[in-house]
Amino acid sequence: MISSDRPNPLLNWIPHKLLMENNQVLCKWLYISNKRFTEPFFEETISRSLSNSENSKRYKSVSDLETIIQVSEEIEFVQPSAFIFHVSRCGSTLLSQLLCMDESNIVLSEVPLIDEILRLHFKTNNVREKKTEELLLSVIKLLGQKKTGNEKCLFIKLDSWHICFYKTFRKLFPAVPFIFLYRTPDEVIRSHQKLRGMHSVPEIIEPQVFGFSSNEIKDINLDEYLAKVLECYFRNILSITEDDKKTLLLNYKDGGLSMVQAIKKNSGYDLDDRLINEMKKRNQFHSKHPDKKFSEEKINLLVPPYQKKIMELYNQLEEKR
């Protein structure tokens, strides 16, 4: 690690995107100045940083993958406090927004580079599994590096389909608590009917991630496809929480503040009364649009046949919780 009295040349730089050039995987770096990660999604942090003059130079900052691994061994970083898995549209964005209100927290919310690394083997055969794991560890260290010295916790909210990469994360982080957020499947599906997420449209995420064959999903509509994806998620969570004792189940209906307090109890995260009061205020506003008051329309509809299996799995998860 870099000692505290030695300047860190990478302090305000992060690896942010993989590139394929001449059959070699490279990584593009981004200058973010002294910015904290406070946007609802990490992609927004990247977008806001692109205008920095360091990112507008003629020559781009690019390295090979080995460089990422090497430099990650020379920095001070915060060990992950918890990984947040979720089934999408279930309060994970609000939870990450509440956690980042504490300036001693580093909160990573759906980092595109983490997803690129996990799915890299679908794009190339030139990077072995062991190297992918080393790369994932290194990127998390670099994104969790200490800037002020006051950072204490690192919370990483993953993409929903990263539930399917559970074994990779548990292998690399055997002692870290894993949080699983979920919601009634019918509410998740209705949310995606208004605005479809990546995993709710066939072929955007490789079907192999979910264990699907191409023929299996060829003639189904978008809602039926999402139901199959959610079935994959709920089956995985049920299986994981059966054996893994370092897991915590949280339901959207409990509310954001209750989720934070549950994480406090299970991860050792210290939360004082002042922050709790600030979080109560933030909890009243939309997770993705912090300037808008949150309101939710209550709908009670009959469950269609294609949702019955996932509703059964949801109920099993509720019994376990």
- In DSSP notation, 281-293 reads HHTTB-SS-TTSB
How many CB atoms neighbour CB 319 within 10 A? 7
Q: Which of 83, 70, 90 is nearest to 296 (CA)?
A: 90
- Residue 108 contacts residue 42 (beta carbons within 8 Å): yes
Tell me: pLDDT of 3 over 90: no
Six-digit token pair at 162? 């990263």
Neighbour-count burial for 49-78, b at 16+ CB within 10 Å, e otherwise: beeeeebeeeeeeeeebeebbebbeebbbb
Predicted confidence band at 316 (pLDDT cuts at 50, 70, 90)? Answer: very high
43 CB-near residues (< 8 Å, 6+ apart): 110, 112
Higher-scoring residue by pLDDT: 286, 41 = 41
Q: Please state whether beta strands 62-64 and 24-31 pair in parallel, antiparallel, or not at all (unpaired).
A: antiparallel
Average pLDDT value for the chain: 89
Per cent of the chain over pLDDT 70 is 91
pLDDT the model gives residue 2: 42
pLDDT score, position 5? 52
Give the burial string for 154-183 (b: 16+ CB within 10 Å, else e): bbbbbbbbbbbbbebbbeebeebbbbbbbb
Which range, 9-23, 53-67, 95-109, 232-246, has the best average confidence (pLDDT)? 232-246
Angstrom distance (rounded) from CA 248 to CA 241: 8
Tokens of 169: 């994360």
Distance CA 265, CA 209 (A): 32
Query: Both ends of the chain: CA-CA distance in Å?
Result: 41
The dihedral formed by the CA atoms of 56, 60, 65 and 67, expressed in degrees to the nearest 10: -90
Cα–Cα distance for residue pair 287/276, rounded to 1 Å: 17
pLDDT in tens, 233-271: 999 999 999 999 999 999 999 888 888 888 888 877 777
Across-strand partners of 172? Answer: none
What are the C-alpha distances in Å from 258 to residues 103, 106, 231, 232, 271? 20, 20, 26, 26, 12
What letter represents residue 181's amino acid? L
User: Domains plus CATH for the chain?
Assistant: 13-320 (3.40.50.300)
The burial of 250, by beta-carbon neighbours within 10 Å (0-12 exposed, 13-18 middle, 19 or more buried), is given as buried
Express each pLDDT in 108-137 by its tens digit.
999 999 999 999 999 998 889 999 999 999
Residue 107 amino acid letter: V
Q: DSSP of 220-266, one letter per residue? A: --HHHHHHHHHHHHHHHHHHHHHH-SSEEEEEGGG-HHHHHHHHHHH
